[in-house]
Amino acid sequence: MNSTMMDSPLTITALLRRGARVFAGSEVITCEGEASRHARFGDVAERTQRLAAALQALGVKQDDRVGTLSWNHQEHLEAYFAVPCMGAVLHTLNLRLPPHQLAQIINHAGDRVIIVDDSLVPLLAAVKPHLRTVEHVVVVGAGDASALAASPSFDWPDIDERSTAAMCYTTGTTGDPKGVAYSHRAVYLHCFAIWGAFRIDDTERILTIVPMFHVNAWGIPYAAWMVGADLLMPSRFLQPQVLCNFIQSERPTFTGGVPTILGGVLQYVLANGSDISSLKRAVCGGSAVPASLITAYRDKLGIECIQAWGMTETSPIGTIALPPKGTPADREMDYRSTTGRSVPGVELRIIDEDGSEVPADGESVGEIEVRGPWITASYYNAEAPEKFHDGWLRTGDVGHIDAKGFVQITDRSKDVIKSGGEWISSVELETLLLGHPAVADAAVIGVPDEKWQERPLAAVVLKEGATATPDELRSFLGSKVARWWLPERWAFVDELPKTSVGKQDKKLMRALYAEGKYPVVELAAAPR
């Protein structure tokens, strides 16, 4: 027997129409430093149509890729809707990538148009000579462009819900960054997951600290628009003082960000007494959230800090750490400090080295695998069969799961480093260090850091008779990678520990560092 249900496509266009029609009076508020700029959903929706018409006039067609190199602001939100709703593909570009990786992903995606903030034009200009597919650059700035404004009307085409709406590239893994293409259907369903997991509605004012170039800002802009929550955009003003002033003046009730940013806000408030009492909840993810941060937000600020986990390949919401019913108050942190349990729509399992599922006993360890309607099944124009297993995505994270479904990540199978929510490739740093004439061997590991959660430690073996200082080696790396990749901690050793097959034993290196057995020289942090 066939269903008689209506077959309504699950598209971002449907989300756009709902927000514009039902919540026309909700606001998008952009921080401009000392002031804020307000726009109603209805006006944003009209500007979205103008942008789509302008892009069409530039020759953008269905399935063409349009890159955005932008901070979090109203204009970026307009691109979030205009590009996929006209049938093109939104490609958010990570403005923190080294120039060579930025050029690489633009070329690999085949971006035809790039929308760039005027403040980020120098970054794009540095890579533009290497771009092979870009035909037009649209600059977002404060100038009066009304004389050139496109028509306010645009007929949104009918779109297959399984067509690509947006794409992001992974960073920090060995090998080249890999593109993940999100379908309209996946984004739509992910909105419902965010709605339920984050418990948001039109009474909320949501501060989107998570960069819009990070997995669609965790899907928060789309979900907030769907339910009519006001959206507060900090633009490039992520310094604790300006961020706290923005919170104090615009009174958000909910936010989400990485531990580094939320930790900075905490320290600023404790030192300066800024009023951020409007905030009731903060979702924290991007890297493991210290239990001390969750506790401090609760006890010192009266804000519920909730840990969540995901990755580019999971759109990203995968788990959320909320205590199960019946949990005594004194045991809540046992659950809040875990990676969490999967949200509805996501299945999760732990697989051992033999490919068998391990028991949910809270002790048996293996690699975490996930599947669901917003989990990627392949990479864009890249073969990576090792990342998939019988229809499941292999996350590369190692952990265990208990009988109530709570998972805990205990390690990573790849030795990438996650610093302040951003990936740093240990392999790339090692390869570059080996290019220095004085270096015989090098290994880079992630070590705990109070501010950034994790930072790189470079252990170096010098060639016989050669000399080099940490400052010299860091300067050598300085022109080749982003500044925030540059290690502050350096250790010169006679040899690096190796496994039985000759690979670097980074687990042992981390243990030796923790025991204080590495002679570490610590430099001042490079400015970000």
CA torsion through residues 84, 97, 528, 217, sign: positive
Could you give the angle at which helices 74-85 and 41-57 cross, rounded to 10 degrees? 60
From the candidates 313, 422, 428, 430, give the one annotated as an active-site residue.
Answer: 313
Closest CA to 179 of 381, 347, 479: 381
Rounded Cα gap, residues 59 and 288, in angstroms: 44
From the candidates 178, 387, 418, 506, give the one annotated as an active-site residue.
Answer: 418
- Please report, to the nearest 10 degrees, the dihedral formed by the alpha carbons of residues 211, 281, 221, 38 taken in order: -90
Q: Kindly report the CA angle at 496 between 498 and 434, in degrees rounded to 5?
A: 110
Contact residues for 307 (Cβ-Cβ < 8 A; gap 6+): 283, 284, 285, 289, 294, 320, 321, 336, 337, 338, 339, 340
Is 431 in the active site?
A: no
Peptide bond into 487 cis (omega under 30): no
Tokens of 168: 């992001």
Distances (CA, A) of 381 to 152, 214, 270: 36, 20, 48
Q: Are 157 and 86 in contact (CB under 8 A)?
A: yes
Q: Are 481 and 474 in contact (CB under 8 A)?
A: no
Q: Where are the alpha helices (DSSP H) in 199-328?
A: 220-227, 240-250, 259-272, 291-296
Long-range contacts of 275-278 (CB under 8 A, 24+ apart): 275/248, 276/244, 276/247, 276/248, 276/301, 276/303, 277/302, 278/205, 278/247, 278/251, 278/252, 278/253
From the candidates 218, 392, 423, 485, give the one annotated as an active-site residue.
Answer: 423
Tokens of 449: 């850091």
Is 61 in the active site?
A: no
Is 387 in the active site?
A: no
Q: Are 343 and 246 in contact (CB under 8 A)?
A: no
Closest CA to 66 of 448, 99, 76, 74: 76
- Give bridge partners of residue 450 from the DSSP assignment: none
Q: Where are the alpha helices (DSSP H) in 256-367?
A: 259-272, 291-296, 332-336
Is 418 in the active site?
A: yes
Taking residue 212's Cβ as centre, other Cβ atoms within 10 Å add up to 23
Q: What beta strand segments (E) does 360-474 contain?
A: 366-371, 388-389, 392-401, 406-412, 417-419, 422-424, 439-449, 453-462
In sequence order, what DSSP letters do the residues of 20-40 get, joined into one string?
HHH-TT-EEEEE-SSSEEEEE
Point out the residues that are catalytic.
170, 313, 418, 423
